Structure 1
């Protein structure tokens, strides 16, 4: 199994002072960067092949990996990181299509390791994570199910959409080899048609709605996590999420 970590963006909504901006994956919580947490937890569940999709200040990310004593994993650069994440995913098309199950993960998430365990459980699955306890509004990417089947994945839902479960998508996806290849084709179509500025969730949505590959969902409601986009998310991550994370022993290992 291979993990692709999307960490190319500038993170403008964090409102970092000009000249002091750095990739969000290098945000530290209890002295440990988000990137290092990702790598440690992926190792813990047996995922040892990692591809980093970088764009903004990749040298800072490489320096952090060196500082942490880590071998620098495979890196793919998106020089137009100012565009949408569809283009970033397109830069890692080779990693999507070289075989085996693939995890596609946003880098700016602080999360409990049980969420990752739910994502990788079993063999050869297409899987999404859903959290039914979420704040209403336009920011969360909503995942809607009808009789267990994903029928929508968007921030804004059509009026009258018929579903029997709704939650927030965590932003981690698992694809089988065949589904990953089809996803890469859809992403390429976005780029070729001038839609590279869109979020990659739109391409995931297309894959879901064409029903060519069955997806299951893992319900992670109640587990602590947060996607970090705004300054108040950093505060919430520190005060609310970090103290709830499972396995203090792992957290101590992360700090060493």
Structure 2
């Protein structure tokens, strides 16, 4: 199992509070967001991780070091997550988790994603009622639509930007990424290709409503992450670890990471 984290964007809407730093370096009481994401992936045995960088890439590399593989999106200012995903096409070779670098979610979200067979998208049925949300709709449990422009009345929740794809789906996924780029250009979100893929392959949805998570786009999102989501994650990490039949060293390290503010 591999992991791809899309982290090329500049996060301009958070510039005032991050003082120009990339979103993935947002601090959660002394822990950067990307450090937490890598720790969660490792707690599930996912050590082969590729981070697609762009804006202030060197600063991120200084924080993370050699804990992952790097791909640089030199066109980050004129492209979006679809193009960043395309750049990883020659790196991925196994089933993988795909995630955005601005998502903070409890390990149980990842656990449920990984335990569900096949291609899977995590969504929150308690959300999806705002224009900014990446809304989703399902038909008999299978992803039918994913778009920010999806009619709120038809939406069944909000995508977390956290998905899992099987090895068999890799070729099809990147074929749809290529098709999406050809039709709509490089300044599109990755869900443009996921929407196309869902027409040909089953992508199941797992509802994680009630579990702590947030997508950090605006200053108020970061405030919510620091004041609500991160403390909730830290509080439940020890009990989550105890539920594991054999907690890995990485899982123990994750609990230690959260104990800084627990």
Contact 2:143 2:202 (C-alpha < 8 Å) held by counterparts? no
- Superposition map of 1:1-256 within 5 A: 1-16=1-16, 20-66=19-65, 71-82=66-77, 83-96=79-92, 98=93, 100-121=94-115, 125-134=118-127, 136-158=129-151, 166-193=156-183, 195-208=185-198, 210=199, 212-245=200-233, 246-248=236-238, 250-253=254-257
- CA distance in 2: counterparts of 1:220 and 1:122, whole angstroms: 12
Structure 1 runs of 4+ with >6 Å offset: none
Q: Partner of 1:56: helix, strand, or coil? A: coil
TM (norm. structure 2) is 0.86
- The CA deviation at 1:193 is 4.1
Q: For 2:15 and 2:56, how far apart are their aligned partners in 1?
A: 16
Cα deviations by residue, 1:15-72 (Å, 9 ceiling, x for unpaired): 3379x41111111102101111011111111111100100111110111124xxxx34
| Number of residue equivalences | 243
How far off is 1:254 after superposition?
Answer: 5.1
SS at match of 1:238: helix
1:15 aligns to what SS in structure 2?
helix
Q: Once the 2 structures are TM-superposed, how far is the Cα of residue 188 of structure 1 from its aligned partner?
A: 1.6
Structure 2: gaps of 5 or more residues: 239-251
SS at match of 2:16: coil
8 A contact 2:22–2:56 mirrored in 1: yes
Unaligned segments of structure 1, at least 5 residues? none
Aligned partners of 1:136, 1:147: CA distance in 2, in Å?
21
